Every structure is written in C-alpha cells, then in structure tokens.
Structure 1
Amino acid sequence: MAPLKLKTPPQAPPVFTATPTSVVEDTKKFIDVSRKLTDDIVAKVKEQDASFEKVVLPMAHDENRQGLVAHILGFYQSVSTDQELRDASTEAEKMMDDFSIEASMREDVYKLVDAALRKGDKLDPESQRLLEKEHKGYIRNGLNIPAGPKRDRFKEIKKRLSQLSIIFQKNLNEEKGGLWLTPEELNGVPEDVLSGLKKEEGKYWLTFKYPDLFPTLKYGTNSATRQKVFISNENKCNQNVPLFREAVLLRDEAARLLGYPNHAAFKIEDKMAKTTKTVDDFLGDLRSRLSDGGVAEIKTLKEMKKKDLESRNEKFDDRYYLWDHRFYDRMMEEQDYSLDQQLISEYFPLQTTIQGMLQIFEELFGLVFVEITGSDRDAISPSGKGNDIVWHDEVQVFSVWDDEGEGSGFVGYLYLDLFPRQGKYGHAANFNLQPGFIMENGTRRYPATALVCNFSKPTPKKPSLLKHDEVTTLFHELGHGIHDLVSRTTYSRFHGTNTVRDFVEAPSQMLENWCWTPSQLKSLSHHYSSLSPEYLEAWKEQAGPTNSIQQPEEKIPDDLISKLIKTKNLNGALFNLRQLHFGLFDMFIHEPESHEALEQVKISEKYNGLRKELCHLDGPEVFGQGDNWGNGQATFGHLMGGYDAGYYGYLSSQVYSTDMFYSVFKANPMNATEGRRYRHTVLEKGGSQEEMKTLVQFLGREPRPDAFYEELGLKN
C-alpha cells in the first residue's frame, strides 16, 4: 500500500461525462484547432526558414494535446452502454480519421517538413526520429504520387478504408447473436455457465460471448451442439464479409498506386521484418517444423475421441472436427494429466488474482497500485463526483506510483473493465485513454490506460473464477497496460505500446511466462472458499457432505501446479498452427501476384481451406458443403484493426519475448534488479528508438530464435 502522502495524484484523472452531442462537438472543435495551427505554420514559415522547431515541434505538441481528448472520444464506442453515445463515438472516430487523412496528404506541409529534414539541424535522438517518421509518413500517404486523379483516388481509398474498419468493428461490438438450446443439448456445460444464461420456456439463450462460447465448446458432450455453436459463431457477423473483401482489394490498389508490389510489401517495410521475404521465410520455416507435430497430435486426439464415443455407444466416423478440439484437448488434460481446469479456476478468483498480479508488478518494476474507491473518487474527480471518473459502475480505477526506490513519483491511472455487457468490445485488449509526454512547459503529462476484458460475472454463490488461460490473458493485457504506464517518452507518438506491430506483443508475451512459474502461480492463487464464510458454505454445498471432504488449502497445491505446468505445451503444435493459419492467411490475401489475381480469390473458401490444409481439422466440407461454410475472417477484428500484413507479429515477437525470458528471467523471475532494468531499458523506451536497438541493449546481443524453438520442443 502506498504511503498516505501519495494518495493525492498531481494530475486529475480524465472524466467520462460526454453526451452524444458533446462527443461530436468536441471532435469538431479540436479538429478546427489543429487545422488552424497547421494553416498558421504554412502561412508564417517559408521553406528556406523551415526547421524542426518551427514546423514539426508545434505539430507534435498539438498531437500530444489531441491525444488527451481524441482517445477517449473514440473509446466510448467500445465500452458505453448508451447506443447513441456509441454511435456518436463511431462518428467522431470517422471524423478524426478523415481529418488525419487530409492532414497527412497536405503537400504544403510536406514541403516544409522536407525542408526541415534537409536542413540537417542537430537534434536529440527522439526528435530526429520524429522528424524522419513525419517525413516518411507523408510519402507513405501518397505525396510521391503526382497530383491529379491518381492521388485523388489514393485519398478516396484511405477514407473508405477508415470507414470500413470502423463499421467492421462496430458490427462486432454490437453483435447480439446466439442460439436457443435445450438442457439436453447443453449436457456437460458447467452449471456456473448455465446459471448465468437467460432462460425461457425450458430453453437457454447461449450467446457468442466468450464466457458462454468457450465453456460450451470445451465441456458440451453433445457433438451436434458443439458443431452448431461453432459454425454459428463463424457466421455471427456475415455483414462484415463484403466489408473485409472490399478492404483487402482497396489496400492492394493503394499499395500499387504508391509503387509497391502489394499491400504486405508496403506495410512490412516499416516494421522490424522490413521485407515480405523475411516474413514468408519465417512462417514457412515454422510451418515445416510444426506440421508433423500437428499430425501426430491429431492422431492421439482421434484415439481419445474414438474411446469416448465408444464408451457412450456412439459411432466414430474416423474424423476429428474443428468443434471437437477444445472438447478433447480439455479431456486429454483431465485424463492424461489428471488436470481439472474447473478445479484450478477455484484457486483464481478474479479480484485476488488481480491483486496478486499487481503485487508482482510492484516487486518487479518498483510500482505501487492504489485502488481509488468511495469518497476518494469524489476527492480526486475534477467535478467532485466520483462516478464521473469511470464510464461504468463496474469499472475499477487505480492510481499508480513509483515505490520509494524509484523515487515515489506519480506514474498514471489504470482502469479495469472486466465483464461482458451489450455493445461492449468483445475480446480482451488494452486501450490507451491518455498518452504520457513532456508538455511545452517541460513538465510531464501522465498516462491513463484501460484493460477491457470479458470474464464471467460473479454469481451469488461464487466470485468470478478464472481458468488458467484467462489468468494468462489477464496477465498479458496487464503487461500492455504496464508498458503504457511506465513509458517515458518526449512525444505521445512514441508513448508506450506505440511500437512497430511485430514487436508490440513481445513485452506482454514475455510476462505470460510468470503464469507458468510455480512460485508465481502459488502467490497468485487464493481458493475462493477462504474469501468469506458465505463462499465457504457455497463451496461445501457444491462439494457434498461436509463430513467427507475437507476445505481446500488457501493456496493452490504443488501437485496441481506440477500437473498444470506439464500441460504448457500440450497439443502445442496445433495451437501454434492455429496462429500460423491466421498469419499465412493474412499474408496470402495481402501478397497477391497481381490485383487481378486477388479479385479472383474466394476469401472465405481460402480461409477455411488453408486452416484445413495446415491444421488437418475437418469441417463441414466433409459433408459436401465445400469450403464456403463459414466466414471466420469476418468475426475477429485484427486484420481490420491494424494487424493487416502484421499478424505474423504474434509469432515473430515470441522469438524476442522467449529470448528475453530465457536469457534474463528464467532462473529467477522475481529478480527485482533485472525487472527494473527491463522497465528502464525496454518498457520506458516505447517506440522512441528502433526496437531492435532496444532489444540489443537489453540482451547485450542480437536476439536469437533458439529459446523460441526450445520452448516449442523443436530443433533449431
């Protein structure tokens, strides 16, 4: 707990009091301010007088100020319960994107930036990086295309792509689908899940939200139900199918207008990989290494399926389906490793797990987290009303500080929005609400960051309990949040997770290793029956006669930890082949031989066919339906939300994350000296320098893939 004197932050938290009208008006207002500032620069500065201080620095300060407002205006669409406010937020994002496109294609400004770069003034490294990135940004936004119809077309494409991305994500956020299913159809699904479902006329309404979907696919004994749920989920947002196709075609057209052979070449040029060949070689090598393992894993799983069906007098057709995998993967954990994920979840109540995770970050990075509740919220709210500093009453907010060893200073605000609700972003992600940067007067502006997740809600008899994969997800997203909080950059452009996409996941992926470390699993755990007398009674009621069973230990037992760790890479080839499927599909659609060839691609059929080819999991195509039975590419936002020609980054950044963990932390994950070195060498830098330089500074050498392949059980 922080000393009392730390409890009044030097900067008030943001407020979330917007109305649909104010969101639109505030957006127009700051766009007008930014446009006037740029117009004034163009009017006052001649090319021969252009410099970083006169041209780029004022725009950078404006970008910093914009971030304090813009991120929150666009955030409401992902979290608000008010449909009109979500719609206004979507409209605001469209306005901001349109303005950004206009600004990034101003030739009059580009000429001044170009002159400032050619002037060659001696700048500090981060300012030099900003100047070079700004200059390159204008070129990548079409200013190397001669003025006229082609440049106009490029601008038109950019605006349309922005619209498509916004509509696509809105469709996902607003998705309300589900299935009415009988208790018999949901046989095997845990009672905890069923008790949270809407029920009418003897049937349950199963949504496609994660807390409903995954347990059904994992525990539902009825194969026909799993099939129905799986296929329906793959078709839950079919209105996104034409949007996705249009975006892929427009990206390719835009890249060719810029002189690139395809969209992937355009996107990857600016990342760590630099070339499509580097990415293709990496994915191809990984495919060849994983392929045999995937086939062997399926052979074992098919045997398990055969025995299971025979034990229930059901016919086995010698196939292993897409909707089988979560079910039999879970069964293998239970039967071959004596591992019960439901039992493990009892040791990870959401709130105590969060407290444990924050404590790890406190010890490792020299931080202190203070939850702000009750009257303390009123005290720090600019309006005096505590409700104004959160967007929903379920949201938790923390002030974050350096500990005494790090100087006891303020770090920023952390928000946790953990449960599903209608209209909310449906996955798990970290959102920057306000960036950190150095203000014009030289003082520091502190960041605010939010974790938006979808864990199961507490019930009257149980708190929210996390499966181990959810513990890992939470730790991963908190890792992004910490990256966002401890970053120390001059400009918001480079703050926190604003790194290249094929590095951004590495810091959080590295922290996932703590969820597989015995000492940390022990420290994170806290059996829910020991939280309160009421929970103890509820546990006894579920466990059976109290005279025949003892209350569990408060901390997870060593034998359970041991069993869990043995499953770390269970069916790991299939898991990584799934990631490889996304990465190879992404590259396929963004690296066509020609635009005409891309126009002929049947995207959904390619998505499904490639998955079958890679993972050897059967789908409805075996019933004569062909590969056009589902539209999985339309159901997740990555390839429309910034990971286009970049999904490979989830795999390539694991090379870096595993190297960092094995080299520095594996022997002692709670080495505070190394933790602080990692904080200052890697996390603080954000994107303010080349990411490879950051890695080399931390590792003391170039990164190597050896640990990555060792972790996967593959020979290098």
Structure 2
Amino acid sequence: MKLCLPVLSLFVTFVACSTQSSRSFEQISAKATENGLILSQPSFEQSPEAVVATVDSVLVSANAALDAIAGQDPETATFESTFVALDSAAYPMMTVMNRYWLMKETRQEPEIRKACMNQVQRLSEWGVEVEYREDLYQICREVSERIESGDLPKPGGEDAQLYRDIMRDYRRAGFNLNAATREKVAKLKNKLSKLESDFDSNITNASVVLEFPAEELNGVSESFLESSKTDQGRHAVRVTVTPDYMAVMEKCSVRKTRRKVNAARYSIAMEENGPILNKMVRLRSKMATLLGYSNWADYKIEPKMASTGGEALGFAEGLARGLQPKFDAEVSELQKLMAKETGKPNAQIQWWDFRYYQNQLMKSRYSVDSDVLRNYFPLKGVIAGMFDVYQHIFDLRFTQVEPGYKWVDDLELWAVEDATTGEAMGMFYLDLYPRPGKYNHFAQFDIIGGKLLDDGRYQRPVVSLVCNFTPGVGDDPALMNHGEVETIFHEFGHAMHSILTRAKYQRFSGANVARDFVEAPSQMFEAWVWDPEVLQRFAIDWRDGESVIPMETLANMKKAKLATVGVFYRRQMGLALADLRMHVAEVGADAGKICNAANAEVLFEPPANTNFAAYWGHLTGYDAGYYGYGWADSIAADMGTIFENAPNRFLDKEVGMRLRNEIYSVGGSRDADISIIRFLGRERSNDAFLESIGIE
C-alpha cells in the first residue's frame, strides 16, 4: 500500500493526456489535412460484386502505372521514376490486399469472406506476374548500372535501402537465371499462393464443438460453465476458440476430457490441410532448388537477421539443449503433482497434462489461483490502463471516434495523435470477442499502410486488433487471465509499431521489418504486465473497484513463471524445429510427421493419430520463420533492460521516446541491427534473455 500515493498522482497525469470523446473524427481528420496528412477511414465493400469491382479498378490503374515505368527511355530514367515509382504503383494494390485480408477473417457474411479470399488469391497471382515482368526488371537494371557507373547519384538513407532491397528481390526471383527457370518458379509461386490461401481458409472456417456433462469439466470456472451451457444442460467447448481450449487444458481435472479436447484440437482440418501442407512444402523445396538455394529455409531466411537456415537451426537446437536440465527438473515437479493426485507413482506427463499441472503448481506452491486473478483484470479496465501506459511513454493521445462502418456491433475505432504537437498519427480498430467465421486467435492486421505520397502528403496508417477474449456473463464484465493481459499488450505493441511510422515507402512502413525482429518490440511490452508499478494502475478488483492486485501475489507469479519457463521455451523450440526441419527435409517427406516428431523429441508426444501442423496458421507467412519468436525474445529482453535501468523504469518517457524514434518510426527503412544498436546505445547481448529463463 506504500505505493498508492505516487501511483495515484502519476495516474492523474496519465489521464490528463488520455481519451477525449468531445472531438470527432471529422475534426481530427480536418486538422490532419491542414498539416499535409491524410487520416481516412477505410471504405469496406458491402457485396461480393463490389469486392470484385474494386480489384478490377485497382488493377487497371496499377497496370497503367507499371506500363509507364517500364516504357521509359533508359537514358532519361531516374531512381525516382523507377524504384520510387514501383513503390507508389504497388501501394493501392497493397491497400486493397490488406483490407481484404482483414475482411476474409472478420466479416460475418460468408459470401463476402469467400469473395475476399478469391480476390486475395487474384491479387497474389497478379503480384507474381509483376515480380516477373521482364520490362520492369530491365528498366531497373539499366538505372542500377547508371547508378553504379556514377552517371546517376547513389541513393542514400531510406532510398539506398529501397534500391538495395528491390535489386536483391530481383535476384531472389531468379533474374540472374535463364527465362525458362524463371517461368517455372513463377508458376510454382502461383500454385503455392493458391494452396496457402486454401490452407488458411480451412483453418478460419473450421468449427469443432464438443459437449460434456458438468462432472466431466470438473475444475473449470463457474463462469465458463455458465457461458457454455446448452439448452440440454450440457456444456459446449468450442475447441477452435483458444480461450475455451485453454480453459479445459489448464483447469479441468478430468484427464479423459483434457485428452479428448487436446486430440480434437490437434485434429482440426487434418483431412483437408494435411495433404495441402505436404504439397506446399514440396513446392517450396522445388522453388528453392530452382533458385539455387539448398532448401526453402535458406531461401526464406536470407533477408532476415539470421540470414541462413543453418543459423536459425543452430539457434533453436542450441536453446533446446541449453534448456534440457531445467526442462527435466520442471517436468519432474509436474510428475510429482500428478502422482500425488492420481495415486500412480509412475505417472507420466503427456501433452494434455502439462498445462493442467502447471496451473496446479501455481496454486499449491505459489498460491497463485488464475481464476481469482481474473477478477483483477476486467477487459475494459485493462485496455484503459494499457492505453494510459502507451500514451504516456510515447507522448500520445487516443480518442475514440465513431466508425463509419461496423462489421460487428461492438467494434471500436480510436484515433491516435501526438500529445505535444497534435499531429495525427493514425487509427486502430478493436474487434475483441469471438464469433463464427472469425479469425480464431489474436493478431494485428494492417488496413492502410503509412506512406509519403507523390503529392507530398503523408498517408497515416490504420490497423485493426482482432482478438478473441471471452465475453462477460450476465452483469459480470469480461475478465482476462494474466496471459491474455500479456497478449493484448503484445498485440497493441504491433499496432503502435504500425501507426507511429515515418517511413517514406510502404514496403518499410510500420512493422515491415525483418521477420525475426518484428516480434521483438511487442514481446518486450509483455514485461510491462509483470511490473508492480504498472500493474497497480489498472489491476484492480472489479467487484469493489478498490483492491489492487497484492504485490505478494505478483512476486509469487514471477516465481511460478520462472518455475515453468523451461517447458514454455522447449515448446517454442519444438515448434521452431518442426517448422525448420520440414523446410530442409528431402522432397516427399511428410510434414505432419516431421512436426510431431520434433515436438515429441523436445517436449511431449502429441496425441496419437493427430496432425497439429494442419491447424498451424504460422506455416503460411511465418514458414521457416517460427524460430523468430525465440530469436526476437532474446532481443526483447535486451531492449527491456534499457527501461529497467531507467530512472522511471517501465514508465520512463525519455526511453519511450527513444524507442518510438529509433525503432517504431523508422520501421524497415534501415537494417534492424542498426536500429537496435541506436536504441540500446551498444551492441546487443543475449545475457538478459538467458538470465530471464534461468540459464547461466
């Protein structure tokens, strides 16, 4: 309680620059226009026909712009009329692609979701055609030769990054090879794009519900039982909704139920996506070989910080080995709990057991009851507290405005401005609760990317947070577990990364950075929800509106986290190795079997006759990249030490502004290593990460 007075005084300071409902979107947008900025709400198509018509129109304009670029006289063409013009020509198409990607994951009308999926595929195929246009490559090559010969000035800064990246991408597309090979690769890319779209759609459209009597769900919360009750008096567990799945895996004391739910989760879309995944992996391998790479991992990782598949594999395997003693010790403790509860001294922890016994360990050894903890984390209170933290350290102001269109009734839209200058920075939507046909996890989706337009105005970004928090029951508010609080802080970090951009080019704006760095800033923000001073600002029991989360409880939560972090990171490395190994394997290997084998080696044997990989959405987009979560965690821990050692720790505004300026604003406009060093003020180190997971 000694922290209450300074906590309250600082909280008042936060609220002073917080949400202001008296200002409308029109007022904020008008001021942005006065400052040479564009802040606009997206226009969402309302019929399948409109979805198609938009793509028809944007492709006509884009093709005309590309034809003009390709048709220039090489002797008079410039960097601006080629490389910069390519970024501008692609921008409208990318904006439509982003919008449709969100719509296919969130719209309630199945026919619009399907239309968006089809047009995303169409745009992807068009993108491959553009990538392999010989005339565009030739004009860029000729301008490049003039730059290298000194006939044209060498680009600097962000322009140099754009120049290097476009020429690198042409090489990676195979323009150093013969035309016949490039044609083969292009065809394979189109086939792969269609398979990836089908794979994603099968995941999004999957819906698996299992019903149980109350006694077979012993241990789950009363609120879960109440919300899941069917008209027949049984209880529906939505296996495809992550909070439902986790509620059973962590709380249900009936092992048979946990096993059944676990097996059902790891069998989702197995029949449809298992064969599709094998085809995807084979096509990727063929493409990599045609392009001169040893495997898909080497190809995919080349532009990232790790740079090679071997480096990424070495990281994942080395961390898995280093965790072995801690992992063994943690599993031994879980087995003791299991033996005591079941009366079977030789009981073995399986995949469907570890989360349950980790939860029991938290309660029995560390007096941490996750159900009791939820009362300190009402969703709306957490979001308000999170807003205050981000507004303070980044010097921002959030204002709720009325959306022009709502794809769901409880959708929220917020405008973001610089609190000192009043500059419009962007907007974000909040889509918080699950529903049929919706993306079933938690993610930030770009809608409009930031870009300096040809007329000198800057288009400010718009993004959406798509979440699946459990709604409240009756008069009770929606409550979060602590892991979900981590998740919302993490995802909101992505939103700020996108919104605070000042990159000139859309390909570098926001979170368009190296994929094994993109998670680092967001993962760093997960540390905020473990800090006493931060938590005491919003972790307040909703039942009395006064009781702050006890500091003793928080200290015990930290101990419990360290006591289970070995299992957590072994699971992460199991997934990383599964992903990497299927993408370095011989052509024809079964990806599902590789995934199950890697997880059995590093964690636990998956349920028999299941294929987790078939429901693993990261295998499109993050393919050969899951190692990046662990890689980024190491960077995040190092970056977090700058806040920890600052005068005001996690609420230090000076460090927050350095993060905004050196990481968030620049996006991918310079190498990630440079941005990290600029923020840290030194070379990066793994020491903080290893200490955080108990490895000396």
| TM-score over 0.5 (shorter chain) | yes
1:357 alignment counterpart: 386
2:58/2:92 contact within 8 Å kept: no
Match of 1:426 among 423, 427, 440: 440
1:265 alignment counterpart: 298
1:51/1:119 contact within 8 Å kept: no
Q: Deviations over 1:607-629 (max 9, x none)?
A: 222212112x34545xxxxxxx2
Aligned residue type for 1:65: P
* 2:210 is equivalent to residue 210 of structure 1: no
Aligned residue type for 2:405: I
Aligned residue type for 1:459: V
Cα offset for 1:280?
2.3
After superposition, the Cα gap between the structure-2 partners of 1:6 and 1:409, relative to the gap in structure 1 and judged at 3 Å, is farther
* 2:314 is equivalent to residue 319 of structure 1: no
Cα offset for 1:267?
1.1
2:378/2:479 contact within 8 Å kept: yes
Q: Which aligned pairs between 1:571-650 and structure 2 lie closer than 5 A?
A: 571-592=564-585, 597-599=586-588, 601-615=589-603, 617-620=604-607, 629-640=609-620, 642-650=621-629
Higher alpha-carbon deviation: 271-280 or 291-300:
271-280
Q: Which aligned pairs between 1:641-680 and structure 2 lie closer than 5 A?
A: 642-667=621-646, 668-680=649-661
Unaligned 5+ segments in structure 2 are: 1-17, 30-38, 148-152
Match of 1:348 among 377, 388, 399: 377
Higher alpha-carbon deviation: 478-487 or 516-525:
516-525
SS in 1 for 2:434: coil
1:193/1:211 contact within 8 Å kept: no
1:145/1:257 contact within 8 Å kept: no
Q: Deviations over 1:6-63 (max 9, x none)?
A: 86222332233432111111012101211121112222x1333332122222222222
1:416 alignment counterpart: 430
Cα offset for 1:670?
0.8
1:396 alignment counterpart: 412
Match of 1:103 among 113, 117, 130: 130
Match of 1:74 among 89, 92, 101: 101
* 2:216 is equivalent to residue 185 of structure 1: yes
2:575/2:598 contact within 8 Å kept: no
2:58/2:93 contact within 8 Å kept: yes
CA distance in 2, matches of 1:443, 1:345: 46
Aligned residue type for 1:147: A
Q: Deviations over 1:202-232 (max 9, x none)?
A: 3322111112111011111110111011001
* 2:145 is equivalent to residue 145 of structure 1: no
1:27 alignment counterpart: 55
Match of 1:9 among 19, 22, 28: 28
CA distance in 1, matches of 2:187, 2:529: 46
2:668 alignment counterpart: 687
After superposition, the Cα gap between the structure-2 partners of 1:86 and 1:666, relative to the gap in structure 1 and judged at 3 Å, is farther
2:32 alignment counterpart: none
After superposition, the Cα gap between the structure-2 partners of 1:620 and 1:646, relative to the gap in structure 1 and judged at 3 Å, is closer
After superposition, the Cα gap between the structure-2 partners of 1:666 and 1:89, relative to the gap in structure 1 and judged at 3 Å, is farther
Identity %: 30
CA distance in 2, matches of 1:14, 1:613: 47
CA distance in 1, matches of 2:662, 2:406: 32
Q: Deviations over 1:439-489 (max 9, x none)?
A: 112121111011101110111131110000000001000000011111111
Match of 1:370 among 382, 399, 403: 399
CA distance in 1, matches of 2:346, 2:686: 40
1:171/1:240 contact within 8 Å kept: yes
Higher alpha-carbon deviation: 151-160 or 464-473:
151-160
Aligned residue type for 1:656: I
Cα offset for 1:492?
0.9
Match of 1:174 among 205, 219, 222: 205
Aligned residue type for 2:256: A
1:161/1:247 contact within 8 Å kept: yes
1:453 alignment counterpart: 467
Aligned residue type for 2:417: W
1:51 alignment counterpart: 78
2:259 alignment counterpart: 227
Cα offset for 1:568?
2.5
CA distance in 2, matches of 1:453, 1:698: 30
After superposition, the Cα gap between the structure-2 partners of 1:353 and 1:462, relative to the gap in structure 1 and judged at 3 Å, is same
2:4 alignment counterpart: none
* Alignment RMSD: 1.7
* 2:692 is equivalent to residue 711 of structure 1: yes
Q: Which aligned pairs between 1:469-548 and structure 2 lie closer than 5 A?
A: 469-530=483-544
Match of 2:185 among 134, 141, 154: 154
2:132/2:182 contact within 8 Å kept: no
CA distance in 2, matches of 1:473, 1:362: 18
Higher alpha-carbon deviation: 555-564 or 428-437:
555-564
2:321 alignment counterpart: 288
1:549 alignment counterpart: none
1:349/1:528 contact within 8 Å kept: yes
SS in 2 for 1:13: coil
* 2:119 is equivalent to residue 130 of structure 1: no
SS in 2 for 1:669: helix
SS in 2 for 1:529: coil
Cα offset for 1:587?
1.2
CA distance in 2, matches of 1:443, 1:603: 47
After superposition, the Cα gap between the structure-2 partners of 1:302 and 1:460, relative to the gap in structure 1 and judged at 3 Å, is same
1:589/1:598 contact within 8 Å kept: no
1:6/1:401 contact within 8 Å kept: no
1:320/1:618 contact within 8 Å kept: no
CA distance in 2, matches of 1:184, 1:452: 33
SS in 1 for 2:562: coil
1:333 alignment counterpart: 362
After superposition, the Cα gap between the structure-2 partners of 1:316 and 1:173, relative to the gap in structure 1 and judged at 3 Å, is farther
After superposition, the Cα gap between the structure-2 partners of 1:361 and 1:269, relative to the gap in structure 1 and judged at 3 Å, is same
Aligned residue type for 1:9: I
2:277/2:591 contact within 8 Å kept: no
CA distance in 2, matches of 1:338, 1:666: 30
Cα offset for 1:687?
0.4
Aligned residue type for 2:494: H
Q: Deviations over 1:356-407 (max 9, x none)?
A: 00100011000111112xxxx2xxxxxxxx5x33321121111111112xx1
